[in-house]
Structure 1
Amino acid sequence: MSGASTPPFSDPASSTTTTTNSDSESMHSLLSPPRTPPNLHQNSIDPDAKWLVQKYGGTSVGKFAVKIARDIVSNYLDQHKLVIVCSARSGKTKALGTTNLLLRAASEALHRPNPSIPATPGTITPFSHHLLRGIASGPSSPGNSSPTHGSSGFFNQSVSSSVIHGHFGFGNGGGGLPAFSTTVDLIRADHLSAARSAVKDPVILREVEGEIERDCEALRGFLFAAQVIDEISPRSRDSIVGFGEKLACKLMTAVLRDQGIDAEYVSLENVVPDSPDGDSSRMNGSESGVHETLDQDFYDRVAEAVGERLRQCAPRVPVVTGFFGPVPGSLLRQVGRGYTDLLAALAAVGLSASELQIWKEVDGIFTADPRKVPTARLIPIISPDEAAELTYYGSEVVHPFTMEQVIRRKIPIRIKNVENPTGGGTVIHPDPDLDVHAQLSHSELSLSEPLSLQTLHPFLNPSASSQTSSLKVPTAVTIKENIVVLNINSNRKSVSHGFLAGIFGTLDRFGVVVDLISTSEVHVSMAIEEHGLEKKVLERLTKELQKSGTVSSHRDMAILSLVGKQMRNMVGIAGRMFQTLAQGNVNIEMISQGASEINISCVIDGRDAIKALNLIHQSCLQIRPEGTKGRGPWLF
């Protein structure tokens, strides 16, 4: 590799690796901190500059990588210290997204090859079987020798070729590759195509192509090993899914450097610290922690470790994997597929960032889904409680647990649009006393800079508040479709606690989450999201619930939710909501109001969902102030 090259990938944590063969030395050069030409744009060196964490979703990374580097990241560097967190790339369809393909490959690895197809003779010795079992168990524990770069922390490239071809009987002359190999080829081809269309510098392109090739071969080798031992543990599945973020971040690092930005790829797969009691096996994701619930102390320690690692990158721009390695009980089980958002939140906490930005393909949070309600408007500021309610009931905002991590540290979250980077977006503000979103228009409040109370001071003075203190309006209305309602009538003349205990115990055994519930002493109605709930599971659940009483079900329903912090003291809002639905000939199956009193929800027929959404938006969110009757709706 030319001495003048500027490798886009750097992981100082692994830079101490020593190698002897020429191939390893070539890969080792990519681990060393790159020499930075003086014309590359770096993070601000101003000691007073604040950190700013930007998280980009898979669709944004997949479609707008160059735009992100050229039009967004470059505009923040002079005033901020940026951190970029990337999800795995999304495909043209959800099924072809990288994460879905990786999960599919993991499932395919457990399908045994057809014994009727002859394969190249090979021998699996006790030693190689032991080696494979170690490979498939997941990343090496701290203290082991550093993994070869491109191996993603658990598969040595020099081992993969010899083991696969010498012992597995696949590959050269084999009787056909397993299905997961084709899936890996899809992932490889997608990322190579994206790199070639986005990266113009031939040196940077050659390096990122090499990284993609090595990572995909490491993935293929890992899946071969898993197929031989016929096992994929939760920890192994985490590692397989983690390839998606690694590939996306390496690609984004190359694009940033190609656009003149000094970026550094950072893998956080080994960032999880040991537990305070020294039980490193548990903290590194051993199966003993499968049923363990991670407490806040765990996330605080991860945030501190992430912040310490990212500060080492200065003045380069860290491009960080959302995958942060093995955790007790498995990352997917404990956190779910939203772990990239969570990592971005933990990075913001660890760096005491001024703001966490979540970049999507929408301008922010609206009063209703603008695709279904033409009159929906952007909400410039919203409270965390309201954002959490909207997330629970159908709007894709930010997971409440992710919000909690930054809000408890008084860090605002801003939702921004990759396709409209100059727009203000929506700010989820941590100040519980801040209640101005119903009073401000988007044009009144400049949100081009990270939000602070000084920015909002003109809107928080007593005179400004008094002019609008009489205005009490909901914040948004949302719909959650694909709902099934289960009604259970007790068949016994028993006390209610036994009846309810039996129902909730059954739900717990089946792992079913209830969105809404309405109860009396002998009757329970439950609204459950049918999407993702297998038909057989629902049938078994219904059969089990019949032990407690008579069960009836209503499918293809929808939950309509009106959300607003000011609704606590809004007399008559529930009456207006239900009267509007009645006048629109929309039947209500069940009604529920949360204890927080910021949400009123009801279940309606799914066929009436869009009609009801527009009716409620027009009736409850477009309010005419006193003295303006007949002048048309007043939009706040």
Structure 2
Amino acid sequence: MSARSSPSSSTSSLSDFVMPRTPPNLHQNSIDPDAKWLVQKYGGTSVGKFATKIAQDIVSGYLDQNKVAIVCSARSGKTKALGTTNLLLRAASEALQRHPVPSAPGTPGNMTPALNNGFSSPCSPISGSPSPFSSFHMGSANGKQAPSFSVTVDVIRSDHLSAARTTIKNASILRDIEAEIQADCEALRAFLFAAQVIDEISPRSKDSIIGFGERLACKLMTAVLRDNGVDAEFVSLENVVPAMEESDSTQHEALDQSFYDRVAQAVGERLKLCSPRVPVVTGFFGPVPGSLLRQVGRGYTDLLAALAAVGLEASELQIWKEVDGIFTADPRKVPTARLIPIISPDEAAELTYYGSEVVHPFTMEQVIRRKIPIRIKNVENPRGGGTVIYPDTDVDAPQLREELEADSFVLDEPVSLESLQDLSIAAEEHRHKRLPTAVTIKENIVVLNVNSNRKSVSHGFLAGIFGTLDKFGVVVDLISTSEVHVSMAIEEQGLDKKVVDRLVKELRKSGSVSAHRDMAILSLVGKQMRKMVGISGRMFTTLAQGNVNIEMISQGASEINISCVIDGRDAVKALNLIHQSCLQIKSDGDRGVGPWLF
């Protein structure tokens, strides 16, 4: 597909956009000139299960004192395979499968005109721009079965239509969103048909296909908000990226920070045009040099939310999930895990790297460098305080966290950096001894041990190993080295078994190789651990007492993370052991480890 061809390109400029008259009963963003923007990002599961709750219980509660902007991921399905993004990727793959090509558009018996219900009118708040592909519909060719990608598109369409009919009560709004869903799905079907005809889907084209998921989710969320009395406006950011020259090299090189700064500025300017309406924004932000999926990956929706917060100079970026925040351990595996009210960016990054789903460090960096706090909150518990990732390095986040925990203090509203600093200065002395922040586990790990096959040390031993890893695009989570021995812990999930086997075969050129599968990385994280004498001894002694064998040990240069590799079968037991020994507040008389864990 052409790099510039997009199935949903805008055909009108912003200056041509006519704002519809807003009914007087719709709730809008605050018009107070001093009101700060607040960016809320909702994941696919939240959009899929809790759209009405988001409209009624969350967004409405912030509008009187804030200007709210909403960023949505594509809807998730009942299973991971039925999530919209996975279905879109499947449809793209199916379009390139070898089978008879249907007749060209317009051939009798194959294409029928799409119904035009007026949904492309610029006066509709949930309308996107009309698509050049939306003038026809692909059905069966001469009675033959439709292409497999067409069936997948029907699954996506049916899911979104069902969601709309279940959640929206206003007949007019429902009629509009049904037409939008039909139009977008027919545009997607036609785009895939074109890809099948030319037997090619470029990286840019795949980006465009994936972008349909956010378009559908955001349009549906806009309709749900308006159905619940919130004056919302759908905003597609597919053309927001500033024009820039693209050479062959930029297609493969990582984009620099100045690119993301320009995107943030452009996004902020676009969203401010919506005021006083609540913008509902696609996480997909259009053509990116080298492809959005390649440059950013599937976490681009979180990144866009961060860039929106920067562009709007927001008081806070809120990431809404189905958990109360970040815990000292996975509460599904450790019953005694407790919520962490405040955490430093470094600690959050370490937890993300080693198994906890927090926020990707690169996404986090975009807002932290602009001193914007990130708050993790629960859609099912909107009144909970959540966890704040605190950006100011001048404030001792671990100390402040302990003071908040000691005072049972809940940060349940957007809070300024100044107020947190005042709180830190005014707090009493610590009531508890300092503890690590959290313990986490990363499973599906394979450990590769390489021993040099040379009697004398070769300067090329390590270079050969790292060159092989780079050749296969393998990322190492932990590494331990000596002159003639290297141990590496690698996440096997997502790697083809054949790739691992070829990697091992290539590494054997450097020495003997052994592989240990079904392992897990156990990581104890805490910014204050560098000042905790004996914490590593306590961690390893606890594991030894629990009969948990340690395969490999590593400590990061930042000294806020101690990690070891253990057998995957001991993961849950080890989590509970370390949490009880190193993270639970004990009285002076309680020093042991509960025998119930063994």
Taking structure 2 as the reference length, what is the TM-score of the superposition?
0.90
- Structure 1 residues 595 and 152: alpha-carbon distance in aligned structure 2, compared to 1, 3 A threshold: farther
Q: Does 1:342 align with 2:328?
A: no
Give 1:543's match in structure 2, choosing from 505, 510, 526: 505
**Structure 1 residue 431, shift from structure 2 partner:** 1.2
- The 1:335–1:630 alpha-carbon spacing in structure 2 relative to 1, beyond 3 Å, is closer
SS at match of 1:557: strand
Query: What is the CA–CA distance in structure 1 between the aligned matches of 2:375 and 2:185, rounded to whole Å?
Result: 34
What one-letter code is carried by the residue in structure 2 that aligns with 1:490?
Answer: S
**Quick check: 1:394 aligned with 2:355?**
yes
Quote the Cα distance in structure 2 between the aligned partners of 1:571 and 1:336.
Answer: 40
| 8 Å Cα contact 1:120-1:174 kept in structure 2 | no
The amino acid across from 1:552 in the alignment is S
For the structure 1 residues 215 and 16, does the alpha-carbon distance in structure 2 shift closer, same or farther, using more than 3 Å as the test? farther
- 3-state DSSP of counterpart to 1:67: helix
Question: C-alpha separation between the residues in 1 aligned to 2:140 and 2:406?
Answer: 59
Per the alignment, residue 239 of structure 1 pairs with 208
Local SS of the residue matching 2:32: coil
Q: How does 1:44-123 map to 2 (within 5 A)?
A: 44-114=30-100
Q: Map Cα deviations across residues 410-466 of structure 1 (whole Å, 9 max, x no partner).
A: 0000000000000000000001123211332286323122122444356422661x3
d(CA) in 2 for partners of 1:110, 1:629: 64
Q: 1:327 aligns with which of 281, 288, 310?
A: 288
1:227 to 170, 193, 196: 196
Aligned pair count reads 564
Deviations 1:527-584 (Å, cap 9, x if unpaired)? Answer: 0011110011111111111111100000000000000000011100000000000000
Are 1:39 and 2:16 counterparts?
no
Q: Do residues 376 (structure 1) and 353 (structure 2) align?
A: no
- The superposition leaves residues 292-313 of structure 1 with CA deviations (integer Å, 9 ceiling, x where unpaired) of 2100000000000000000000
Name the counterpart of 1:601. 563
Is the contact between residue 134 and residue 187 of structure 2 (CA under 8 Å) also seen in structure 1? yes
CA root-mean-square deviation? 2.3
Q: 1:477 aligns with which of 431, 439, 442?
A: 439
Which of 253, 257, 261 pairs up with 1:300? 261
1:445 aligns with 2:445: no
Q: CA deviation at 1:630?
A: 7.6
Q: Which residue pairs with 1:506 in the alignment?
A: 468
Contact 1:155 1:222 in 2 (8 A): no
Alpha-carbon shift at residue 110 of structure 1 (Å): 0.4
**Is this contact kept in 1: 2:341–2:410, CA < 8 A?**
no
* AA matched with 1:452: S
Q: Give the aligned partner of residue 139 of structure 1.
A: none
Counterpart of 2:385 (choices 415, 424, 429) is: 424
Distance 1:384 1:152 in 2: 39
Taking only the aligned residue pairs, the percentage that are identical comes to 76
Call closer, same or farther: CA 1:104–1:609 in 2, change over 3 Å.
same
Partner secondary structure for residue 540 of structure 1: helix
**Per-residue deviation, 1:495:** 3.9
- CA distance in 2 between partners of 1:323 and 1:234 (Å): 14
Cα 1:153/1:548, change in 2 over 3 Å: farther
Distance 1:539 1:596 in 2: 33
Structure 1 position 198 matched with structure 2 position 167? yes
Asked if the contact 1:151–1:215 (Cα under 8 Å) also holds between the matched residues in 2, the reply is no
1:8 corresponds in structure 2 to none
Q: Aligned residue for 1:562?
A: 524
Distance 2:128 2:417 in 1: 47
Give, in angstroms, the shift of residue 363 of structure 1. Answer: 0.1
Q: What's the CA shift string for 1:477-535, capped at 9, x where partnerless?
A: 00000000000001124545411111111111101111110011110000001111001
Query: Aligned equivalents of 1:15 and 1:630: distance in 2?
Result: 66
* Alpha-carbon spacing, 1:594–1:274, altered in 2? closer, same or farther (3 Å): same
For residues 77-123 of structure 1, give each alpha carbon's deviation from its aligned partner in whole angstroms, at most 9, with x where no partner exists.
000000000000000000000000000000000002248xxx66999
Aligned to 1:135: none
- The 1:121/1:377 distance shift into structure 2, 3 A limit, reads closer
For 2:117, the equivalent position in structure 1 comes to: none
Task: Measure the CA separation in 2 of the matches of 1:630 and 1:596.
Answer: 28
1:277-304 deviation per Cα after TM superposition (whole angstroms, max 9, x unaligned): xx2xx2xxx8663212100000000000
Alignment partner of 2:445: what SS?
strand
Residues 120-158 of structure 1, C-alpha deviations (whole Å, 9 max, x = no match): 69999xxxxxxxxxxxxxxxxxxxxxxxx9787864322
CA distance in 1, matches of 2:491, 2:129: 37
| Cα pair distance change 1:120/1:459, threshold 3 Å | closer
Residue 287 of structure 1 contacts residue 328 of structure 1 at CA under 8 Å; is this kept in 2? no
1:67-216 matches, cutoff 5 A: 67-114=53-100, 155-158=132-135, 160-161=136-137, 171-216=140-185
Counterpart Cα distance in 1 of 2:412 and 2:562: 34
Report the Cα distance in structure 1 between the residues aligned to 2:132 and 2:466, rounded to whole angstroms: 44
What's 1:411 paired with?
Answer: 372
Give the match's secondary structure for 1:189: helix
Structure 2 spans left out of the alignment, 5+ residues = 1-9, 108-125
User: Does 1:355 find its partner at 2:316?
Assistant: yes
State the alpha-carbon separation in 1 of the partners of residues 294 and 416 from structure 2: 36
In structure 1, which of residues 623, 626, 629 is the aligned counterpart of residue 585 of structure 2?
Answer: 623
CA 1:219–1:210 in 2, change beyond 3 Å: closer, same or farther? same
- Check whether the contact 2:402–2:430 (CA below 8 A) recurs between aligned residues: no
User: Who is 2:549 aligned against?
Assistant: 587
Letter paired with 2:221: M
Q: Could you list the per-position Cα deviations for residues 148-173 of structure 1 after superposition, in whole angstroms to 9, with x for gaps in the alignment?
A: x9787864322x45xx6xxxxx6352
Amino acid in the other structure paired with 2:487: S
